[in-house]
Amino acid sequence: MDHYAVFGNPISQSKSPWIHGEFAKQTQQTLEYVSQLVELDEFEVQVRAFFAAGGAGLNITAPFKEQAWALAENLSDIAKLTGAVNTLYLDNDGKLCGDNTDGRGLLRDLKNNHGATLNNKSILLLGAGGAIKGIMPALIAQNPASITIANRSVDKAQKIAQIYADKTPIAVFAYAQLPKQAYDLVINGTSAGLKGGLPPVPAETVSAHTLCYDMIYGQGETMFQQWARQQGAKKALDGLGMLVEQAAESFKIWRQCEPDTGAVIAQLRQILAQSKP
């Protein structure tokens, strides 16, 4: 039996073992997938031990994605750009390979599950951390009309913009300096919602044609979704679909087959709704 795991800290909230278990049932494959809490100073040791013991693949979540990037001997083109890795595996020569499936997962959710198009659209990204870094190559490849990054620290946003300066111009603003104009797509890549907060975004960034997308998810609507609906957004989506779609991309790398994500998303949303207090 092939063994897989997700490494993170914290990790008890992870839905990845359930998701990959459903993928395995669908595709009639026998595998084991577990979540593992990794101490902050033991990441490299634990990764090497996992593969030395015959492990087949790892997913990596916060706060280890940048360490996984540094550890991988071979990086996919996307992972090279993002500076973060969420999928690890060994190639035929035994070299540790790293990929980042977050951007592909986001696009699959937006396009396949919600019928969104990004070509020639204006995109506003909130935050400049690992979540935003991970989706930049995928967004740029869709040829949007413009990309704007808003963040508390302009310096962090400028560093991301510089990486892609030869591919597309990216406007950078502090939240307070954001132009009071509406965008076609607003993506919240901050973790403010996990603490019951919101990024301080002007209400004018959202109009009746704006699609708002929160990269986090919860048992019900996130704070950002609620805010977006209050501003009259066309749609207000959470990141549950992205979670399942990026997992499917990892599964495809490891198992060379594509699971049916729609059924898993629907079932997971039902499970979350039933667990609401």
Q: Residue 253 — pLDDT band, cuts 50, 70, 90?
A: very high
**In CATH, what class is 2-100+241-274?**
alpha beta
196-204: long-range contacts (C-beta < 8 A, 24 or more apart)? Answer: 196/223, 197/223, 198/223, 198/224, 198/227, 199/126, 199/127, 199/150, 199/175, 199/224, 200/175, 200/176, 201/126, 201/150, 201/175, 202/178, 203/231, 204/180
Same fold across 2-100+241-274 and 103-238 = yes
Q: Residue 192 — pLDDT band, cuts 50, 70, 90?
A: confident
b/e burial code for range 208-247 (CB count within 10 A of at least 16 → b): eebbbbbbbbbeebbbbbebbeebebeebbbbbbbbbbbb
Percent of the chain with pLDDT over 90: 92
| Identified catalytic residue from 65, 159, 234, 276 | 65
- State the pTM of this model: 0.95
Residue ranges covered by each domain of the chain: 2-100+241-274, 103-238
Q: Residue 194 — pLDDT band, cuts 50, 70, 90?
A: confident
Span 128-150, pLDDT tens digits:
988 899 999 999 999 999 999 99
pLDDT above 80 (res 276): no
Span 21-80, pLDDT tens digits:
999 999 999 999 999 999 999 999 999 999 999 999 999 998 999 999 999 999 999 999
Residue 203: per-residue pLDDT: 96
Hey, which bits of 24-169 come out as E strands? Answer: 31-37, 57-60, 74-75, 87-90, 96-99, 122-126, 146-151
What's the CA gap between 120 and 145, in Å, rounded? 4
Average pLDDT, integer, range 7-27: 96
**Would you state the structure tokens that stand for residue 267, as one six-digit string?**
């079932």
Q: Please check whether residue 152 is in contact with residue 161, taking contact to mean a CB–CB distance below 8 angstroms.
A: no
Q: Is 25 a catalytic residue?
A: no
Q: Residue 18 — pLDDT band, cuts 50, 70, 90?
A: very high
Residue 99: per-residue pLDDT: 98
CATH of the domain spanning 103-238: 3.40.50.720
Residue 182: per-residue pLDDT: 98
pLDDT above 70 (res 277): no
pLDDT above 80 (res 263): yes
